[in-house]
Amino acid sequence: MNKWGKRLLSLLVLVAFLAIWKGYVEVSRIPAYLLPPPERVLAGIVKLWHTGDLQKHLGVTFEEIAIGTLIGSVLGVIFGYVLAKSELLERVISPYILIAQTAPKISLAPLFLLWFGLGITSKVVLVALVVFFPITINVMLGIRSIGKDMINLLRILKASRWQRFLWLEVPAALPMAMAGFRISTTQAVVAAIIGELMGAKAGLGFLLTLGSETYDIVMILSSVTVMSFLGLISYWVVAYLEARLLTWHESKT
């Protein structure tokens, strides 16, 4: 199936889901305050847009995700590279990385809330932590995957340290780093939202909490819908960047 066929199939799945939702509401006669029809949710999103609430809260969540992802990615690349180049350091720190990677980092949200308050800092730290580990591990594995034959070849050619970095290490680490970035993208959205649910002054999680406290099912479903599309769009952006940066890689041919 070609690219457009897959997109059409995805669209048909969405249409089928909305049709089933609408049909269930009509047939079951379920009260709208428990499950409104999809057009009511769409109207709720439009209303939030017109009042400016959607732009405000979406902007806050996006800022948390963007800053946290940037910090986590930069630190992850640096730390992963250092670990890959130092076998001793990797042996000493790897057990702790494994423990931290397997631990539920979302459970740290209340702690960060106490330390950094209700502002965006606590959410940025949580997002950065979620992004950091996949990037670190994948960069380290990418550098470690370089064969000794390639390293020896560049030494024979008298390539400088900078040339080895650009010609060998970056191409080796980039596919793995992008894979880690793709994995952490959706996790970053989830981390930001959960951080906001724990306590926030603004953001999509705050909007969801507000809807829950006021028993506004339309606001709740509108918030969840926007969150879902934010995660989907973030994933698409990373996938697009990956396709552009890795046109030379065998996985894209």
Side-chain-side CA neighbours of 154 within 13 Å: the count stands at 16
Encode pLDDT of 79-91 as tens digits. Answer: 988 888 887 887 8
The alpha-carbon radius of gyration of the chain (Å, integer) is 22
Residue type, 30: I
Between CA 61 and CA 135 the distance in angstroms is 21
Please give the model's pTM, rounded to 2 decimal places.
0.82
Average pLDDT score over residue span 157-162: 71
Encode pLDDT of 128-137 as tens digits. Answer: 999 998 898 8
Between CA 86 and CA 89 the distance in angstroms is 5
